[in-house]
């Protein structure tokens, strides 16, 4: 019988380094098969990580083995009786070995467990537990999802249980992601205000109501499709479907009602073009984007398109989409998504990965930072275009450039730090230190918050600088011809 013993002899390389040396030795029937050394970093990276114990002729008939390292301080929670597979599931082991027989697995698990208790505390104990939310750039209130009710709030009411209106309302309001829905509605209203043609009060009311309902429907479908994934992320554990307050079918029914009502209001109260755009956004967000999140990093680009459609809805309410100003506003919202979301996902990439989402932040960290910087730079020509095509006056270029410059500066700092962290010189030196990783996290947070302020202020400035607005305010008409004196 073939057995493989893992002998991780980890030691701290130096007081200032942030990595360890792992020596992996494989035996078969007492004979040495192979012995390789790897540099393991506390940030989760393993240099030269490709281990195949069955590559030699002596072990060609053995099953392939996988070795996966995680930070050493977590090994302190191991017990000798844990099997390797069980330890991997609970994320408290330093290695996972898949063997063809349970005997070899138990032997290996026992060896690693004993080694962990005595010799593998190379890295310092984490200062915060796994439930910490300090990595998330906004406040998150962690809530336990262990006590999920047997019945949803609606089922409880139908069964005769007494509930207040607030208890019924709150879960369904949460389904719509009210903060996000409100921002989407604001982007459509700003575009409506910047459109050259004037609209009516009724169009404004129908646009606002229809956009809110359509956006809420898209978000409800998104939550109904992802409860098993949302419960694995701290920032989404309190969602109503995850907590059992609303069942997925109830969320789908709610989305069907609100989505149909919203698109109908937009169709009859505004126009068919706006209604079609609202329906398109529901499909793109709740089905295309939500599905791509677990398949490809292209989900971010699709999500950016979703964010660019509401400005088109606002513009199309009273003006033609053939006008270039509409597409300048759409591009502004499209470009903004990347410095905003890429820096947000950078600091919660571990949660996305744990939940099974495919995000650029951990698939290609350098691309993630580069794209954030690239689209921050695009803000400049987009705002220039808004002035060039007559959406705003020329002074908007000056005001917007200040805000775009600040966002670009923070995006550059984030990108530059990531470039240093993943440079060849740093890799040869043993990988990025904890200080370097923390610095990139700080710049990501700063860029995220810069984007939070930049977009609404730019939109407000655009409305203040709307073409001809101050002329109308002070009674000047560009079409008036001054009287000539004879």
pLDDT in tens, 220-259: 999 999 999 998 888 888 999 999 999 999 999 999 999 9
Q: What pLDDT is recorded for position 199?
A: 80
The listed range with the strongest mean pLDDT (110-119, 155-164, 296-305) is 296-305
DSSP state of 305: H
Assign 31 a pLDDT band (cuts: 50, 70, 90).
Answer: low
Work out how many domains the chain is built from and give that number.
Answer: 3
* 308 within 8 A of 334, measured Cβ to Cβ: yes
**For a pLDDT cut of 90, what percent of the chain falls above it?**
57
On the 0-12 / 13-18 / 19+ scale of CB atoms within 10 A, 412 is: middle
Q: What is the pLDDT of residues 261-315, one digit of tens each?
A: 999 999 999 999 999 999 999 999 999 999 999 999 999 999 999 999 999 999 9
Q: How far apart are CA 304 and CA 211, in angstroms?
A: 17
pLDDT of residue 47: 44
Provide mean pLDDT across the span 456-463.
95
* Pairwise CA distance, residues 274 & 326, whole Å: 13
Nearest to 219 by CA among 203, 233, 230: 230
Kind plus residue range of the DSSP H or E element containing 458: helix 434-464
Q: Which positions ≥6 away from 134 have C-beta within 8 Å?
A: 128
Compute the distance between CA of residue 328 and CA of residue 467 in angstroms, rounded to an integer: 14
Looking at the structure, tell me whether residues 339 and 267 fall in a common domain.
no
Q: Which residue has the tokens 């005997």?
A: 103
Same domain (yes/no): 258, 341: no
Indicate if 467 and 384 belong to the same structural domain: yes
Please give the pLDDT value at position 139: 54
pLDDT tens figures, 354-376? 889 999 999 999 999 999 999 99
Phi, psi torsion values for 239, nearest 5 degrees: -70, 145
Q: Is residue 391 part of a domain?
A: yes
pLDDT at 101: 43
Query: What is the span of the domain harbouring residue 218?
Result: 149-322
DSSP code at position 22: E
Q: What is the pLDDT at residue 234?
A: 86
Q: Which residues touch 371 (CB under 8 Å, ≥6 apart)?
A: 300, 338, 342, 360
Confidence of residue 147 (pLDDT cuts 50, 70, 90): low
CATH number at residue 264: 1.10.357.140
Same-domain pairing of 315 and 329: no
**Residue 368 corresponds to which tokens in the numbers above?**
């993630």
Report the distance separating Cα 138 and Cα 244, nearest Å. Answer: 25
Residue 199 resides in a domain = yes
- Cβ-contact 338, 367 below 8 angstroms: no
| Structure confidence by residue, pLDDT tens digits, 301-321 | 999 999 999 999 999 999 999
Query: With bands split at pLDDT 50, 70 and 90, how would you rate the model's confidence at 441?
Result: very high
Which region among 23-32, 66-75, 119-128 has the lowest average model confidence (pLDDT)? Answer: 119-128
**Going by C-beta distance under 8 Å and a sequence separation of 6 or more, which residues neighbour residue 1?**
29, 101, 103, 104
Whether residues 183 and 295 share a domain: the answer is yes
Shared-domain flag, residues 283 and 407: no
pLDDT band at residue 461 using 50, 70 and 90 as cut-offs: very high
Beta bridge partners of 25: 35
- The average pLDDT across 154-161 equals 90
Q: Is the pLDDT of residue 486 over 50?
A: no
pLDDT band at 148 (very low <50, low <70, confident <90, very high): confident
Distance in angstroms (rounded) separating the CA atoms of residues 89 and 162:
41
Q: Kindly state whether residue 135 falls inside one of the protein's structural domains.
A: no
Q: What is the mean pLDDT of residues 106-118?
A: 45
- What is the C-alpha separation between 183 and 440, in angstroms, rounded? 28
Mean pLDDT over the full length of the chain: 77
Picking from 265, 346, 347, 245, the residue whose alpha carbon sits closest to that of residue 313 is: 265
> Do residues 390 and 451 share a domain?
yes
Q: Does the global pTM surpass 0.85? A: no
Q: Which of 270, 288, 322 is the last residue of a domain?
A: 322
Which ranges of 195-322 does DSSP label H, i.e. alpha helix? Answer: 201-225, 227-230, 248-269, 272-283, 290-292, 299-316
Share of the chain above pLDDT 70, in %: 67
Containing 84, the helix (H) or strand (E) segment is: helix 84-89
């Amino acid at each position: 019988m073939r057995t493989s013993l893992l002998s991780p002899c980890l030691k701290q390389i130096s007081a200032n380094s942030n990595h360890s040396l792992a020596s992996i030795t494989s035996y078969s029937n007492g004979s040495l098969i192979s012995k390789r050394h790897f540099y393991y970093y506390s940030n989760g990276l393993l240099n030269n990580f490709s281990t195949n114990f069955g590559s030699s002729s002596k072990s060609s008939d053995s099953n392939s083995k996988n070795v996966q390292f995680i930070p050493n301080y977590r090994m302190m929670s191991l017990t000798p009786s844990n099997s390797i597979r069980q330890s991997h599931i609970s994320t408290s082991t330093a290695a996972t070995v898949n063997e063809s027989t349970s005997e070899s697995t138990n032997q290996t698990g026992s060896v690693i467990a004993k080694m962990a208790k005595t010799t593998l505390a190379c890295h310092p104990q984490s200062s915060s537990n796994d439930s910490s939310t300090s990595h998330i750039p906004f406040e998150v209130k962690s809530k336990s999802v262990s006590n999920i009710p047997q019945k949803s709030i609606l089922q409880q009411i139908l069964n005769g249980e007494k509930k207040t209106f607030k208890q019924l309302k709150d879960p369904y309001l949460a389904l719509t992601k009210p903060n996000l829905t409100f921002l989407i509605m604001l982007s459509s209203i700003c575009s409506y205000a910047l459109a050259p043609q004037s609209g009516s009060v009724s169009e404004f009311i129908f646009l606002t109501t229809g956009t809110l309902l359509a956006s809420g429907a898209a978000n409800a479908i998104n939550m109904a499709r992802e409860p098993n994934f949302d419960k694995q992320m701290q920032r989404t554990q309190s969602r109503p479907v995850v907590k059992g307050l609303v069942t997925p079918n109830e969320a789908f029914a709610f989305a069907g009602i609100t989505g149909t009502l919203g698109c109908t209001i937009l169709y009859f109260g505004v126009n068919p073009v706006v209604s079609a755009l609202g329906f398109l956004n529901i499909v793109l967000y709740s089905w295309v984007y939500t599905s791509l999140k677990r398949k490809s990093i292209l989900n971010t680009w699709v999500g950016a398109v979703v964010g660019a459609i509401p400005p088109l809805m606002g513009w199309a309410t009273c003006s033609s989409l053939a006008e270039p100003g509409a597409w300048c506003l759409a591009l502004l919202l499209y470009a903004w998504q990347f410095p905003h979301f890429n820096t947000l996902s950078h600091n919660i990439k571990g949660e996305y990965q744990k939940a099974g989402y495919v995000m650029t932040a951990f698939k290609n960290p350098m691309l993630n930072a580069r794209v954030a910087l690239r689209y921050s730079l695009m803000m400049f020509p987009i705002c220039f275009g808004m002035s060039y095509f007559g959406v705003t006056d020329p002074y908007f270029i000056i005001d917007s450039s200040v805000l775009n410059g600040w966002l670009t500066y923070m995006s550059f700092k984030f990108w530059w730090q990531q470039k240093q962290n993943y440079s060849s010189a740093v890799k040869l030196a043993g990988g990025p230190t904890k200080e370097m990783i923390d610095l990139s996290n700080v710049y990501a947070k700063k860029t995220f918050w810069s984007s939070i302020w930049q977009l609404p202020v730019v939109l407000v400035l655009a409305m203040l600088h709307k073409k001809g607005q101050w002329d109308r305010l002070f009674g000047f008409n560009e079409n008036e011809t001054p009287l000539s004196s004879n």
